[in-house]
Structure 1
Amino acid sequence: MKHKFTLLLALTFFFLLSLPTLASVDTVATFSAAMQKEIKAVVITPKDYNDSKEYPVVYLLHGYSGDYKAWLNQVPQLENYADQYDLIIVTPDGNFGSWYWDSPEVEGSKYETYVGKELVEFIDQKYSTIDSREGRAITGLSMGGHGALYLAFRHQETYGTAGSLSGGVDIAPFPENWEMKKYLGTKAENPARWEEYSVMFQSNRLIANKLKLIISCGTEDFFYNVNVKLHEKLAYNNIPHTFMTGPGGHSWDYWRDAVQYQLLFFHNYFEGNK
């Protein structure tokens, strides 16, 4: 009986050793000098992460009413994707409804500066990253889809590729929604500002082949029409991009499926820049 128990322990030990290790998930506290406060983010590093190698980074932004934990809570497969594509995934906190702007109305809401500059600097200092635009991607869902493209269009020296999942890429049709007027003032009183702070307007900054783009939106999504409008504008201005549509609404069922295609898109971009 003793020998059988010893054998069982040995087999259990070797079985545990044979199990694949998973990505490492950390919650980090970062300090924003622009906002004078601590902000949390989830950082997923691949299972074979080590400091002797430099890794590309994907910044993944949450939507309105979400937080830094939302992506991993809803899509735990992100750990597998970090392993599969050998990259770092960062999901920062964008506050309840900041829209990732440096707000002209709310003092202390400077999430463009935080996500577009301060967080990137923190990640590059703390982790072994490819410290150049060729090693960085940014995408997000809904408010975060708008934020990802808004930041990428305005910081093309920082990101080499960007995406959006069901992004609110044109805010003009929604002047009373999602607290945007809290951060921009009312559209009626600030029409020029509402244009300037929209992805649709910021797309005028693009030049062909500077930024590798992928835009996804479900055909039943209330943001579908504005995504089609952005796609048509980019095509008219000869800005190459990938535009993916298919059945789906404004839901995690759609985002859970669509994000894996965007991560593959980013992986192919990173591989092409090695």
Structure 2
Amino acid sequence: MMTRRMRLAALGVAFALVGVLGVTRAAPEAQAAQAAQTLTAPPVFTDSHGLTVLEQPSWVDANERTFTFVMTTNEVPRYSAMAGQVSGEHVIMVTLPEGYDSSGVTRYPVQYHLHGHPDRPDTQLNQQMFEESTAGGVPLITVAPNGSGRGWYTNWVNPPTELGQQNWENFHLDQVIPFIDANLRTIATRDSRAISGHSMGGFGAFRYAESRPELFGYVGSFSGGLDLLNQGQRLAVVGSTQLPGSGTPTVPPDAIFGVPVWPLDRVWNAESPAQHVESLRGMGVAMYTGDGGSLADNLPQAVIESVARETNLVTRDNLAAAGIPHTFVDYGDGSTWAEGCTGKHAQPACLKADMKHFVGLLMAGLPTRSPHQPLFLRQCGRT
């Protein structure tokens, strides 16, 4: 049996050219130049909605599905930067559907995916999750905005003077979403817009969906920390403010949600997704969690996932009590969920399986597939 002490203490082309009838293989340099010449240009973005484009979109690789771009915003003029980041410069990664044509007439639904702590949007794992879950012609755009190592997807209560305002919610919901709608061929409606996230991002996805239900028709959490009343989860947030690996400078413990102890913890309680599920009524709702698996194998990640699962169980119970349909996938030690998933926190195999399942539910429920009540809501009745 895991003790409270244990939970709190454990909280880091080449292309093979076949020679035919005397055709010889090109030198590697020539192959690279040839491949570069075949690349089509990614979309070109225009400044709007308070966002200034510093670097135009550029493809991540020759597959021409995923690109990154860089922007600035006055809502988060600076932030605690991790290694490789420039404070104030916000990288956003976008994966387009196969066959996306910026000059065509087809428009696409959008999924916004929020990264965890301490992480960033433009990771190889995120690219794999997005591209693999939409392979085979799935008509879905995926957008991953910067949330900083410790942004926690909220407008901070007491941001440090040296950083300026940390209005992450305003940045994402009031600026990034309309910016993407203005620059890509999206279906700019609630029923064609989803939000998901992992860990800190799962918290953010539920927070944003509850705060602005008019924006999202679907919400998904992958091992999200959904209950800020849970002391282990509260410690994780406070701990993130003090970790240099989450970005420098570090920030005071009360910077994000205010003082974390009663009776001064009003904001913590008000922004806890688990206790405010009513505004999710009518959305497609899905949660995924493992149980941490064996404590003998990567104890910190096992404990973190165990705490996340506790917060998901509270959220599930509150959804059920409110009569809100939802999908709850508790895959335990991961042995029946995905090869290589052992129920730990932030495991690539688990996250890829989560994303693939969620995208399947999402695509089944889009208005273009069901003109009346989305099928996703009916499927989400399983718990």
The corresponding residue for 1:12 is: none
Aligned length: 261
For the 8 Å contact 1:137–1:159, the answer to whether it is kept is yes
| Matches of 1:8 and 1:94, distance apart in 2 | 45
For the 8 Å contact 1:140–1:147, the answer to whether it is kept is yes
Superposition CA RMSD, Å: 2.5
1:211 equivalenced with 2:283 (yes/no):
yes
The corresponding residue for 1:272 is: 369
| Matches of 2:151 and 2:256, distance apart in 1 | 7
Identity of aligned residues (%): 23
| Matches of 1:105 and 1:98, distance apart in 2 | 13
Match of 2:210 among 139, 149, 153: 153
| Matches of 2:158 and 2:25, distance apart in 1 | 66
1:240 equivalenced with 2:292 (yes/no):
no
Match of 2:350 among 254, 257, 268: 254
The corresponding residue for 2:5 is: none
The corresponding residue for 1:45 is: 96
| TM-score of the two chains, using structure 2 as the length reference | 0.63
Match of 2:117 among 64, 74, 93: 64
The corresponding residue for 1:30 is: 71
The corresponding residue for 1:197 is: 271
| TM-score of the two chains, using structure 1 as the length reference | 0.87
| Matches of 1:187 and 1:78, distance apart in 2 | 35
| Matches of 1:225 and 1:87, distance apart in 2 | 32
Q: Deviations over 1:182-205 (max 9, x none)?
A: 311221162211101111233233
* Higher Cα Rg, which structure: 2
| Matches of 2:346 and 2:198, distance apart in 1 | 10
Which residue identity is paired with 1:175? R
| Matches of 1:114 and 1:3, distance apart in 2 | 56
For the 8 Å contact 1:153–1:206, the answer to whether it is kept is yes
The corresponding residue for 1:98 is: 151
| Matches of 1:23 and 1:134, distance apart in 2 | 27
Structure 2 stretches lacking a partner, 5+ long: 1-18, 27-34, 39-61, 78-87, 242-252, 293-304, 334-342, 372-383
| Matches of 1:97 and 1:199, distance apart in 2 | 18
Structure 1 stretches lacking a partner, 5+ long: 10-15
User: Displacement of 1:35 after TM fit?
Assistant: 2.5
Distance 1:25 1:239, change over 3 A: same
1:129 equivalenced with 2:186 (yes/no):
yes
Larger strand proportion, structure 1 or 2?
1
The corresponding residue for 2:247 is: none
Distance 1:167 1:185, change over 3 A: same
1:175 equivalenced with 2:227 (yes/no):
no
| Matches of 2:369 and 2:210, distance apart in 1 | 21
The corresponding residue for 1:143 is: 200
For the 8 Å contact 1:100–1:147, the answer to whether it is kept is yes
| Matches of 1:191 and 1:96, distance apart in 2 | 23
Which residue identity is paired with 1:69? D
User: Displacement of 1:5 after TM fit?
Assistant: 1.9
- SS for the counterpart of 1:58 is strand
Which piece of structure 1 moves more, 100-109 or 24-33? 24-33
Match of 1:184 among 235, 253, 257: 257
Larger helix proportion, structure 1 or 2?
1
